[in-house]
C-alpha cells in the first residue's frame, strides 16, 4: 500500500498494491495490520455503508456532532470527487478542504479521520461508493454544511447545479454550523 499525503496531513489518499493478470485483478481493500503499520493508527471500524448514485449527484457535506465518524472511502463502480473539510476548531487546518478523485479504475481510497465533514460528487454515469466508519450512524447528531458555501470555496468539478437531497439543500453555512472544539 502506498500513502499519498494531501494538503491536510490527517487526510490520506491510499493506493493499494494491485495484482493484475489475464484473469483480472486482486488487491486487499483493507488489512488492519498493514493499515496500522503504514498509517500509525488503528481505527475500530463498526459499520460499512454502500451508496449508489447517478451522474451529478452531490452528497454532503455531512458530519456528526457527537459520535464523529472516521471514514475509509472507496469506489467500486464509477468515479467521484471526494471532499474532506476540517471542522476541528483547534486544528491549524480548520475550515480548509481537500479533494481527491477516486474511482473503480484507480482503486484508490481516502482515509478521513473523525472531525471532518465529508461529501462527494459523482462524475461518471453512476457510481457505487462504499466506506467503513469508526462509529455508528446517529441521525440525531448528523449535520450538513452547504456544498457551495462561499467562505469555503470548494472547487467542485461541475459547471451546473448538482442533484441534491432536501437535507443537503437545507445545510448550514460554515459560519453557522456546529463544529468541533
Active site residues: 62, 131
Separation of alpha carbons 176 and 181, rounded Å = 14
Which residues on adjacent β-strands are paired with residue 85?
97, 117
Amino acid at each position: 500500500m502506498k500513502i499519498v499525503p494531501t494538503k491536510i496531513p490527517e487526510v490520506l489518499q491510499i493506493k493499494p498494491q494491485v495484482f493484475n493478470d489475464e484473469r483480472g485483478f486482486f488487491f486487499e481493500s483493507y488489512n488492519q495490520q498493514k493499515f496500522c503499520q503504514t498509517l500509525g493508527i488503528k481505527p475500530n471500524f463498526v459499520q460499512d455503508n454502500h451508496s449508489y448514485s447517478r451522474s451529478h449527484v452531490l452528497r454532503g457535506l455531512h458530519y456528526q456532532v457527537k459520535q464523529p465518524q472516521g471514514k475509509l472511502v472507496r469506489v467500486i463502480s464509477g468515479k467521484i470527487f471526494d471532499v474532506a473539510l476540517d471542522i476541528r476548531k483547534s486544528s491549524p487546518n480548520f475550515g480548509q478542504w481537500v479533494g481527491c478523485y477516486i474511482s473503480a479504475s484507480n482503486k484508490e481510497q481516502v482515509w478521513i479521520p473523525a472531525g471532518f465533514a465529508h461529501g462527494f460528487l459523482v462524475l461518471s454515469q453512476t457510481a457505487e461508493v462504499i466506506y467503513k466508519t469508526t462509529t455508528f450512524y446517529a441521525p440525531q447528531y448528523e449535520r450538513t454544511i452547504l456544498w457551495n458555501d462561499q467562505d469555503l470555496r470548494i472547487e467542485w468539478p461541475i459547471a451546473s447545479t448538482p442533484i441534491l437531497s432536501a437535507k443537503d439543500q437545507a445545510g448550514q453555512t460554515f459560519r453557522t454550523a456546529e463544529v468541533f472544539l
